[in-house]
Amino acid sequence: MKIEFVSDVACPWCAVGLHSLEIALARLGDAVTVDLQFQPFELNPTMPPEGAEAEAYLMRKYGIGAQQIERNREVIRQRGADVGFRFGDRPWVWNTFDAHRLLCWSAREGHQRELKHALLSAYHTDARNPSDVTVLLQLVGQVGLDQARARSILESDEFAQEVRARESHYQQLGIHSVPSMIIDDRHLIQGGQPPDVLEQALRKLLPQAESLPSIVGA
């Protein structure tokens, strides 16, 4: 089974969705062999290098007040805790394009999943900047990737065209919110679904199943 996990490092529901997916896959055990691929999506593609204060940015972007933002954060904190992911204070929003370039490279090196986890934890748990070269190189080294090679990528535009092409591809497929999970190029599961929902959906997609309707939610 091929699973394309379309997501952004800056997306809290993507952290929830990935951990839910991994719990569901663990429950399936040997019933399925999975090729899990992480594909790029940017929630804030025009975010400048200096980033933006999170609360003010979210209020402008979504037209909601501070109380609603805090209620949303509390829901996300609890959903994260339910699947073993800890959300810390996240006072700043950052650009994630360079993180996606390194994720693209790390797929070729066989460490994409580890880097994805490291980036999500750095951003959402530790409030670290995923566009800062020092942070990115530390995370790359943490998961066993070549820091010198990563630096050369960050100092160039390598993988930039590939990331943009992939983003365009998934947008043309109608992906405008994340996380979105595309199963075997045919079936779509969207939102930070609980493990039970994902497990049930994936079981329907085992070889004996014919089809699965889209699931939309958060």
Q: Which residues, 6 or more positions from 124, have their beta carbon under 8 angstroms from its beta carbon?
A: 12, 15, 80, 85, 87, 88, 90
- Asked whether residue 212 is assigned to any structural domain, the reply reads no
What CATH number did the domain enclosing 71 receive?
A: 3.40.30.10
d(CA 62, CA 167): 22
Share of the chain above pLDDT 90, in %: 92
* Predicted pLDDT of residue 64: 95
Region 199-209: mean pLDDT is: 82
Sign of the C-alpha dihedral, residues 146, 148, 149, 151? positive
Mean pLDDT over 40-67 rounds to: 95
β-sheet bridge partners, residue 2: 35
3-state class (DSSP) for residue 42: coil
The average confidence (pLDDT) of the chain is: 94
pLDDT of residue 207: 66
Residue 49: which pLDDT band, with cuts at 50, 70 and 90? confident
- Domain limits for position 188: 2-204
Is 75 domain-assigned?
yes
Residue 209 has pLDDT above 70, yes or no: no
Q: Which helix (H) or strand (E) holds 168?
A: helix 160-172
List, for residues 103-131, the tens digit of each pLDDT value: 999 999 999 999 999 999 999 999 999 99
Could you say which DSSP state residue 152 is in? H
Region 189-217: what's the mean pLDDT?
77
Residue 217, domain member (yes or no): no
Instruction: Find the DSSP H helices in 1-128.
Output: 12-28, 54-62, 66-82, 97-109, 112-120
**pTM of the prediction?**
0.93
Q: Is residue 180 part of a domain?
A: yes
pLDDT, average across residues 182-192? 96
Q: Residue 36 corresponds to which tokens in the numbers above?
A: 């899990």
**Which residues, in sequence order, are bridge partners of residue 180?**
6, 190
| Residue 213 belongs to some domain of the structure | no
* Tokens encoding 151: 């630096």
Q: List the single range of 67-81, 87-101, 134-148, 194-208 with lowest mean pLDDT.
A: 194-208
Per the structure, the count of domains in the chain is 1
Tell me the HSE value of 119 on the side-chain side, using a 13 A CA sphere: 32
In a domain, 218, yes or no: no
